[in-house]
Structure 1
Amino acid sequence: MDLFQLETFLAVAEERSFSRAAARLHRTQPAVSQAISKLEGELGEVLFERSSRDGTLTDAGEVLREYAQKLLNLRREATGALGELRELHRGRLNLAANEYTSLYLLPILDEFRRQNPRIKVSVQRTLASRIPDEVLMHSVDLGVLSFRPDDAQVKSMVVYRDDLAFVVNPQHPLARAGEVSIRQLGTQNFIAHSIASPQRQKVIQIFTRHKTPLRMGVELPSLEAIKRFVEMGNGVALVPGLTLQRELESGTLVRVKIRDLQIERKLRLVYRRQASLSHAALAFLKVVETYAEAHGDPYCFHTERSS
């Protein structure tokens, strides 16, 4: 039993004539009769009174009519729902990011929601190391990372260029220095993130090359906590530049350049290389691209080549 057979059955029942049903369906009358005969054979029931010439339904036909109409209505609803997805009148966009990379998403999501107000957006806070796995498991459509994933099944797109910033309290002795050397920082107490990262390892290596100790006396669980603690006059910190706009504008933190320590951080959108993206995800990528074209550096939109 297929939907064409049910559609033919309903046409005969509604037109009360095989010939009129054939004309409505743009089929020959023998083709309509054959479809009904096949349907009756599969069900093991007679659907039309053979003694009647006006397409009168049997009891079995009356029962089937109700279910056939429901099934065809469901097909119509499904087709309409898929059309709405294509036109972005409904749907869902699932993203994965951590505390830092979610800040990149805010202006992009603001623009995306303006263009697609009916798409539901969910950003899951996820450890950066887990994001490629979440993408491959289809738990999310896209992820945001500050490092290039190793897995060849994951495609990455560079969308933002950031750097590591050295910040101090406005009353700190180095606040008016403008620029310092790594050697000058050997006695400073650095407030660090409690989760180690590839960037921390790079900083440690640079300090080691300059024969300067990197003292991390306090570790805190979030970038916001680190910044607040430095604002209170407790040590200094290295944090992503993307996270500092509010503090630098208000003057609660001061950024000081470190000679010989320029670490660029590229933010990437990552997604499954071989999978088809949802209409909502494709629309999101388009917003990312047009936003980068309109605003320029540090926003960008460059696909990274496979390793």
Structure 2
Amino acid sequence: MDLFQLETFLTVAREGSFSKAAKKLYRTQPAISQTIRKLEEEIGEGLFDRSSREGILTDAGKVLEEYAQKLLNLRTEALSAVGELRQLERGRLSIGANEVTCLYLLPMLDKYRDRCPMVSIAVQRTMASLVPEELLNRSIELGLVTYKIDQPELKSVVIYRDELIFVMHPSHPLASAGMLNINQLGAEVFVAHNVPSPYRAKVIDTFKHKNVPLHMHVELPTVEAIKKFVARERGLALLPGISVEDEIARGELASARVKELAFERKVRIAYRRNSVLSHASRAFLDVAESFAKQKGGRYLFQPER
């Protein structure tokens, strides 16, 4: 099998029909059908359910789809790596991050643009739990997470230490408390992030262990939505410190800490252990390291393994 066959196969799978794939690839439908038939002969299995007009994959087709995408991603990576040998300005930086971890990237991306103004930067929004899979599938080259990755094929570097803090409207009775006890929160209404995470689980477990009621009556999909809802005096929220710095500075939100919920968040850059990083990605790691030396404080550059 060759890469063109795999590309044709993936196009048919994505488009859901041979005719649509033919238009996408600027080829005739018989040519597409012949390419797929030859691929099926080489594999010895049917890849599409011919009784359906929607290009439904067979079990063998579903298995091949995963590996075909990996091979095509490898081709893209190889071509990109060869092109970057000429000059860094033609590179591409691909990073996977979720809504919150993007905030940690911004200061370093600013410095990176100064150093590599012609490099194309693509920050792909993805769930933190999917970052290891995206890295191993080579969909991204760097990924940001706030948990320790246990896959031996991946490495990580801690670049920032953050903490979770409670935020509320400045007029809330607890706004001036500074340090709170978890028992003071049993009657409060919480605005929560509805995306599962290790920190969400820790908070729930802590309330349960302390026998304190946890009223999560509102769950929203983004941190921005949570902040705006809290600013409307609709409850309290537990958010990463970096995500509310500006609102607290402007007096739109007030903050407090709870000693039982003093959870530190370590932000990590992860990448493949045995893969040769592109010049663009190596340059970003260099920027992250020099940024930590310059800024200090919560910024650091600490390889984990």
* TM norm structure 1: 0.71
Residues 67-117 of structure 1 show CA distances to partners (whole Å, capped at 9, x for unaligned) of xxxxxxxxxxxxxx9586454121111110000000000010000001100
1:262, 1:244 → 2: CA distance?
16
| Native 8 Å contact 1:164 1:262 kept in 2 | yes
Question: Paired residue for 2:267?
Answer: 267
Deviates more, 1:243-252 or 1:82-91: 82-91
| Native 8 Å contact 1:97 1:124 kept in 2 | yes
3-state secondary structure, aligned to 1:203: helix
Q: Match of 1:155, as an amino acid?
A: K
Q: Match of 1:286, as an amino acid?
A: D
Identity of aligned residues (%): 49
Structure 1 residue runs of 4 or more that deviate by more than 2 Å after TM superposition: 81-87
2:206, 2:84 → 1: CA distance?
53
TM-aligned CA deviation for residue 150 of structure 1: 2.0
Question: Paired residue for 1:125?
Answer: 125
1:187, 1:304 → 2: CA distance?
40
How is 1:71-86 mapped onto 2 (pairs within 5 angstroms)? 85=85
Q: Match of 1:179, as an amino acid?
A: M
1:89, 1:192 → 2: CA distance?
42
| Native 8 Å contact 2:84 2:278 kept in 1 | no
Is structure 2 residue 134 aligned with structure 1 residue 134?
yes
1:116, 1:99 → 2: CA distance?
24
Q: Match of 1:127, as an amino acid?
A: M
1:276, 1:202 → 2: CA distance?
36
How is 1:220-239 mapped onto 2 (pairs within 5 angstroms)? 220-239=220-239
Question: Paired residue for 1:197?
Answer: 197
Q: Match of 2:242, as an amino acid?
A: L
Residues 100-139 of structure 1 show CA distances to partners (whole Å, capped at 9, x for unaligned) of 0000000100000011001000000001111111111111
3-state secondary structure, aligned to 1:93: strand
| Native 8 Å contact 1:85 1:91 kept in 2 | no
Q: 1:86 to 1:240 in 2, by over 3 A?
A: farther
Question: Paired residue for 1:104?
Answer: 104
| Native 8 Å contact 2:84 2:279 kept in 1 | no
Q: 1:84 to 1:209 in 2, by over 3 A?
A: closer
* Structure of larger gyration radius: 1
Deviates more, 1:222-231 or 1:198-207: 198-207
Is structure 2 residue 272 aligned with structure 1 residue 303?
no
How is 1:168-207 mapped onto 2 (pairs within 5 angstroms)? 168-207=168-207
Number of residue pairs aligned between Structure 1 and Structure 2:
225
Unaligned runs of 5+ in 2: 1-80
Unaligned runs of 5+ in 1: 1-80
| Native 8 Å contact 2:167 2:237 kept in 1 | yes
